[in-house]
Amino acid sequence: MSAFHFRLQTTDTATGARRGVFRTPRGEVQTPAFMPVGTQATVKGLTIDQVAQTGAQMVLGNTYHLSQRPGHRVVEKLGGLHAMMGWDGPILTDSGGFQIFSLGQLNRVTEEAATFKSQLDGATIRLTPEYAIEIQEALGSDVAMVLDHVVALPNTTEVIVDALQRSIRWARRCLDAARRENQARFAIVQGGLDAELRIQCATELATMAFDGFAVGGLSVGEPPAEMYRITAATTPVLPVDKPRYLMGVGRPIDLLESIARGIDLFDCVMPTRNGRNAMAFTSTGPIKMRNACHQEDTAPLDPDCPCLACRHSRGYLRHLFVSNEMLGPILLSLHNLTYYQRLLSDARAAIEGQRFGELLNHHRRLWAKPLQPT
């Protein structure tokens, strides 16, 4: 029996939102769930204890970046990602497929491998599906993503089909290369903004022995409505008894819209990146903390939020950013991650109570408002 198991507890009948539990050897993940991004084995600006305090259940690291620095064999000698980070919950590692896309000027993709010029020192790196798995096994993550071929959108059908078919072949090679029994493998569905191609890819990947399935190649500049459309077309083809992960998404409303379309897992740098840049997510909408209107504001950032940032006034938080004090980005990163975890907790409760549609409509109205205060 696999060490990993997903149990679907209930589905919201009005929307299709799913409430489940993803069991791993390092603990359970209550879904839908948001994974903070720790690309370099650190969630930027926060200690791992602070990350845990936000309510995070599972975190993400990146195969490509960690293989470059400090090197996956160094991580292995330090006891693996969990020991190195001090995190005892589940960790998912991305395979490096997104770097094929994001480092487009520095790479060449063939059937055998993606060849990179390192952004650190210009050294040539050859990333095959087998090597992507080898790195992730050395890192010791709980979930390893297959190496996939991500292409820019929009693109020609010929380019998208070529990348899709290569992603399927690479997924099979990743499965064949895997050796660790205590590491789950997730496949990645590609196919651009063509629903039929997405269905074709998902159908073929679903015949393979993966522990979960991701929808990849979205949130790369396409309109949100297109992302929702493709997600809605893809999820019905994926196995009901396996977790579904939408990679790199996104805004709070994107999470809720995608949950309504059957997604279980998310990751995104937005809460910490926006926090470092003085934007806070709150129950009344996003707020720009550098705005002068907050200078003498004694109110907390979000009165219902239990995080450390919300023990302070908006005026103090603004002062930290205007003064370029490092505490400002730390506190807002902590707050934003707490906001995301509270949002996902609310989503789980709403699904259990068959009222997810109400929660979704509330946030649709919230995100339809202009950014406040102006």
Residue 278 near residue 328 (C-beta atoms within 8 A): yes
What amino acid positions are annotated as catalytic residues? 94, 267
Structural domain contains residue 156: yes
Identify the domain boundary among 268, 283, 316. Answer: 268
- pLDDT category at 153 given cuts 50, 70, 90 is confident
User: What pLDDT sits at residue 106?
Assistant: 60
Residue 235 near residue 273 (C-beta atoms within 8 A): no
Cα separation of 332 and 309, whole Å? 7
Strand partners, 186: 145, 212
User: What pLDDT sits at residue 262?
Assistant: 98
Share of the chain above pLDDT 70, in %: 97
Structural domain contains residue 373: no
Distance of CA 104 to the CA centre of its chain: 21
Stretch 145-165: mean pLDDT: 93
Structural domain contains residue 14: no
Cα separation of 247 and 190, whole Å? 11
Is residue 121 located within the same domain as residue 224? yes
Identify the domain boundary among 268, 289, 318. Answer: 268
Stretch 304-308: mean pLDDT: 96
Domain limits for position 292: 275-368
Cα 61 to Cα 202, 247, 364, distances in angstroms: 25, 13, 31
- pLDDT category at 99 given cuts 50, 70, 90 is confident
Is residue 43 located within the same domain as residue 170? yes
Is residue 260 located within the same domain as residue 360? no
Is residue 101 located within the same domain as residue 142? yes
Is residue 161 located within the same domain as residue 286? no
Identify the domain boundary among 207, 240, 268. Answer: 268
Q: Beta strands of the chain (E only): which ranges?
A: 5-11, 18-24, 27-31, 33-36, 59-62, 91-94, 107-109, 114-117, 124-127, 143-145, 184-189, 212-215, 244-246, 265-268, 279-280, 287-288
Stretch 120-137: mean pLDDT: 91
For residue 55, pLDDT beyond 60: yes
Query: How many structural domains are present in the chain?
Result: 2
User: What pLDDT sits at residue 122?
Assistant: 79
Stretch 246-261: mean pLDDT: 97
User: What pLDDT sits at residue 103?
Assistant: 65
Mean pLDDT of the chain: 94
Under DSSP, the state recorded for 294 is G
User: What pLDDT sits at residue 374?
Assistant: 38
Stretch 235-240: mean pLDDT: 98
- pLDDT category at 371 given cuts 50, 70, 90 is low
Is residue 144 located within the same domain as residue 246? yes
User: What pLDDT sits at residue 372?
Assistant: 54
Structural domain contains residue 12: no
Residue whose token pair is 């459309």: 229
**Following DSSP, what letter does each residue of 188-220 receive, concatenated?**
EE--TT-HHHHHHHHHHHTTS--SEEEE-S-SS
Is residue 37 located within the same domain as residue 96? yes
For residue 70, pLDDT beyond 60: yes
Indicate the range of 82-91, 106-115, 229-238 predicted with least confidence.
Answer: 106-115
What letters, b where the CB count within 10 A reaches 16 and e where it falls short, cover 301-320? bbeebebebbebbbebbbbb
Shortest CA distance to 194 belongs to which of 151, 226, 169? 226
Shortest CA distance to 141 belongs to which of 200, 205, 186, 188? 186
Q: Provide, for the chain, the percentages of residues in helix, strand and coil under a 3-state DSSP scheme, each rounded to the nearest 5.
A: 45, 20, 40
User: What pLDDT sits at residue 201?
Assistant: 98
Indicate the range of 100-109, 151-160, 176-185 predicted with least confidence.
Answer: 100-109
Phi, psi of 326 (to 5 degrees): -65, -20
Under DSSP, the state recorded for 142 is S
